[in-house]
Amino acid sequence: MNTRLRFRRWLGERIRAARRYANDLANVGPHDAYAKKFFYFGSGAGLMAPQGIIYNERYLSIGEQTLIGPNVCLTAGISGEQEMLHAPVVTIGKKCVVGRGSHIIGHWSITIGDEVQTGPYVYITDQNHTYLDPDTPVGWQTPEESAVSIGSGSWLGTNVVILPGTHLGRNTTVAAGAVVRGTYPDHVVLGGVPAKVLRHFTPDSGWLSGPPA
The catalytic residue positions are 129
Judged on CB neighbours under 10 Å (0-12, 13-18, 19+), 43 is: exposed
Q: What are phi and psi of 33, to 5 degrees?
A: -60, -40
Collapsing DSSP states into helix, strand and coil, what is residue 13? helix
d(CA 48, CA 111): 21
**Rounded-to-integer distance, Cα 160 and Cα 145, Å:** 19
Contacts of 51 (CB under 8 A, 6+ apart): 26, 28, 68, 70, 71, 72
Instruction: Give the three-state DSSP class for 175.
Output: coil
